[in-house]
Chains A and B, each alone.
Chain A
Amino acid sequence: TTRTPEFLGLEQNGNLFPQSDKEGDVIIGVLDTGVWPESKSFDDTGMGPVPSAWNGACETGTNFTASACNKKLIGARFFAKGYEATLGPIDESKENRSPRDDDGHGTHTSTTTGGSVVAGANLFGYATGSARGMAPRARVAVYKVCWVGGCFSSDILSAMDKAVSDNVNVLSLSLGGGTADYYRDSVAIGAYAAMEKGIFVSCSAGNAGPTSFSLSNVSPWITTVGAGTLDRDFPAYVNLGNGKNYSGVSLYRGPTLPDKMLPIVYAGNASNSTSGALCMPGTLIPEKVKGKLVLCDRGVNARVQKGSVVKEAGGAGMVLTNTAANGEELVADAHLLPATTVGQKAGDEIRKYVISDPNPTATIDFEGTKLGIQPSPVVASFSSRGPNTITPEILKPDVLAPGVNILAGWTGAVGPTGLADDTRRVGFNIISGTSMSCPHVSGLAALLKAAHPEWSPAAIKSALMTTSYTSYKNGKVLQDLATGNPSTPFDHGAGHVDPVSAVNPGLIYDITADDYFDFLCALNYTASQIQLVTKRNTTCDPKKTYSLGNLNYPSFAVVVPSDSTGKSGGTTVVKHTRTLTNVGSASSTYKVSTFSDSKTVQISVVPNTLTFSQVNEKKTYTVTFAVGSMPMNSNVFGRIEWSDGKFMVGSSVAVSW
């Protein structure tokens, strides 16, 4: 990717990971749509021999031979039997029955995790820079499990089964299903087994935001990644005949609009369809749009398809406007005609002008790439939100990472829009989604694994979470693009990742497979459900008291019981315990600070000082949440921070009624 390494501080701290030669031993497995091995991001110049632990393969299939792999792309497998059992044999006229990426998504995510450095990368001149993965010296192995018709769990499970025996160190899955309980969710089950083998698993949180309770992949042994923006934008202004102008974004590159104001028409008034405003295929009346700019509403069909529809109908250009569902979020697209996307407020203004003015005119000014955009990061509107529908006592998402307008490698099979009529071919593309933020974290996890080979997946996750930031340098809380207001831990989790701090977090919250087993007991899982997830034939100890709040999670989610549990007077008391492991300097003393957004929630910690005398020493503390009454569905947020003056070990807190 370009820009995210600088944005994350990786460029400025090149020597950050002293054992960076160990980075070459870390293997990242990516389950996705496969890979375009000719991408420059898989150049293996200067890379040492493939790690001896590697047990994978480079499978041969249609248009893909074992020679496609090298010392960067060390593995490539494809899994189609489940897909074909349901949908019939793969149509080889449409997609390759091999690891070859026919879509682009898999090349984008895999190069984001561990792509080699490629100077002068760009998309039509946009986002130019030296593209590099988060862990540019790590190895990449791809497992193609997604096909034109979707990603089937029997294939995904087989890929995870193989990735574990291939000995990957990190697994990256930018995909999700509905919110099935852990014991019914193949990704959750596969991830548990991977975690037991010391494999870090990160998954996309989903793009169903800003609706609450919209998360995917919420298992506590998975790192669930939301999407934030970068300090980079691609402005394209709409200038109206009434002298007003509005900012939008676009990645259009091609013949410019005539240097004059053009008539502009609202698609809803240039169509015979009741949903004409959406610019769906076949709905625009050519006579009404020919040579004009067309104002289209977002929704239903793909944004880039709307542009293609306008172009086909003879339109000169498109202004695409967000609706309430996307608010002010500006996702840039490589449209096939001069086009820009504007936020909902601007869109409403433009629509009002176009409908009311007798001769509405407009034009679009394309400004290219702009850096230093503030505030950044902000939470992307589409980023799925908590609370956690399956276990509200586990705060999700875990972290935010860059996921808006991300440039990374692309397939040579389709153009940047993915549309059939897009005959352009590019080496890099700019796309958005939690699919893009997840591989950022996967790559960062690989960096941490290289720096700390002994760390468990939970330790890596803890380091990423407790060093994440939830506010800008000016002290303001990260903004939520969907509302323009400060975001909450249900939006940003522990905050936005800060890998420079994560490599040296001071203290970590570690969690073992046994701890997760106890967590499942606290969920009152049956022996069979527990065996489905853990493959263990053991049962919960009837003499033991299990509590969800005692899973050693690096953040806190308190669910206030609606009955009288723990109530004394009008106050409910909830206690959670946590154990911190010292991974910083041998002797250190940490003091706790607690913050709550409301007097209704009092947070106290005993002991309030932790003194360590050696590395890997563990100390336990108890948090008491004294909670007053609030209406159902209320939330109060806060933080618990331990600091020794050098390290800051921060945890988000969410209390829900």
Chain B
Amino acid sequence: ADNKKTYIIHMSKHHMPTSYSDHTQWYDTSLKSVSDSAEMIYTYHNVIHGFSTRLTDQEAQQLESLPGILSVLPELRYELH
């Protein structure tokens, strides 16, 4: 309905600007720079550094071009075997 898709945003932890004291704050500022309304669905700390959120294609492309963003990967659906 909102032509948004879920993406998993992989951040390069080592590129967090020193002005931030906390990764989540950096993630949130990055996200808000491409979308006022997008919320983080999850933040990840152990298996990746990053978060998931819903974005339009255009917002996803804008986000991917920001410094410190490693990759904006579309969510995949897995099935039980």
Contacts and interface: CB of A to CB of B under 8 A. Distances in A.
B77 A152 contact: yes
A82 B52 contact: yes
Interface residues of B, number: 27
B81 A82 contact: no
Nearest to A207: B81
B44 A157 contact: yes
Contacts of B71: 183, 528, 532
A189 B41 contact: no
Interface residues of A, number: 54
Interface string A596-617: 0000000000000000000000
Interface in A428-463: 433-435, 438
A459 B63 CA distance: 40
A221 to B, nearest CB: 12
Interface string B33-62: 000000001101111110010100000000
Contacts of B73: 184, 186
Given A81-B42, A151-B77, A176-B79, A164 B47 contact: yes
B81 A537 contact: no
A146 B41 contact: no
B78 A151 contact: yes
Contact of A161 (B41, B44, B70): B44
B46 A81 contact: no
B47 A157 contact: yes
A193 interface: yes
Nearest to A178: B76
A535 B75 contact: no
Given A175-B81, A531-B70, A193 B76 contact: no
Given A175-B78, A531-B70, A537-B14, A161 B52 contact: no
Given A86-B6, A150-B79, A153-B8, A158 B48 contact: no
A157 B12 contact: no
Nearest to B12: A531
A228 to B, nearest CB: 15
A146 B52 CA distance: 17
B48 to A, nearest CB: 6
Given A161-B44, A164-B47, A153 B81 contact: no
Contacts of A86: 5-6, 75
Interface string B12-23: 111000000000
A33 interface: yes
A216 B8 contact: no
B6 A176 contact: no
Contacts of B80: 32-33, 105, 146, 151, 174-175, 435
B48 A438 contact: no
Contacts of A183: 71
Interface in A60-103: 79, 81-82, 85-86
Nearest to B54: A85
A156 B76 CA distance: 10
A190 B47 contact: yes
Contacts of A162: 46
A154 interface: yes
B11 to A, nearest CB: 10
A165 interface: yes
A204 interface: yes
A324 to B, nearest CB: 22
B76 A186 contact: yes
Given A157-B48, A535-B13, A152 B81 contact: no
A315 interface: no
Interface string A142-178: 0000100011111111101110110000000011111
B58 to A, nearest CB: 18
A207 B79 CA distance: 11
Contact of B79 (A177, A184, A190, A532): A177
Nearest to B1: A88
A398 interface: no
B60 to A, nearest CB: 14
A180 interface: yes
B75 A82 contact: yes
A187 interface: yes
Contacts of B77: 150-153, 177
A111 to B, nearest CB: 16
A190 B48 CA distance: 7
A153 B78 contact: yes
Contacts of A438: 81
Interface in A183-213: 183-187, 189-190, 192-194, 197, 204-207
A528 B78 contact: no
Contacts of A174: 80-81
Given A161-B45, A193-B47, A194-B47, A154 B8 contact: yes
B76 A185 contact: yes
A177 B46 contact: no
Contact of B12 (A79, A205, A434, A537): A537
A433 to B, nearest CB: 5
Contact of A157 (B42, B79, B81): B42
A190 B46 CA distance: 9
A158 B44 contact: yes
A537 B14 CA distance: 7
Given A152-B75, A178-B76, A528 B46 contact: no
A161 B47 contact: yes
Interface string A603-641: 000000000000000000000000000000000000000
Interface of B: 5-6, 8, 10, 12-14, 41-42, 44-49, 52, 54, 70-71, 73, 75-81
Given A152-B77, A154-B8, A157-B52, 13 more contacts: A81-B42, A150-B78, A150-B79, A158-B52, A175-B81, A176-B81, A177-B77, A177-B79, A206-B81, A207-B81, A531-B70, A532-B10, A537-B14
28 contacts: A32-B80, A81-B42, A82-B6, A86-B6, A86-B75, A146-B78, A152-B77, A153-B8, A154-B41, A154-B52, A155-B42, A161-B47, A162-B46, A164-B47, A174-B81, A176-B78, A177-B79, A183-B71, A185-B76, A186-B8, A190-B47, A204-B81, A528-B70, A531-B10, A532-B48, A535-B13, A535-B48, A537-B13
Interface of A: 32-33, 79, 81-82, 85-86, 105, 146, 150-158, 160-162, 164-165, 174-178, 180, 183-187, 189-190, 192-194, 197, 204-207, 216, 433-435, 438, 528, 531-532, 535, 537
The 5 A-B residue pairs with the shortest CB-CB distance in the complex, in nearest-first order? A204-B81, A154-B52, A193-B47, A164-B46, A435-B81
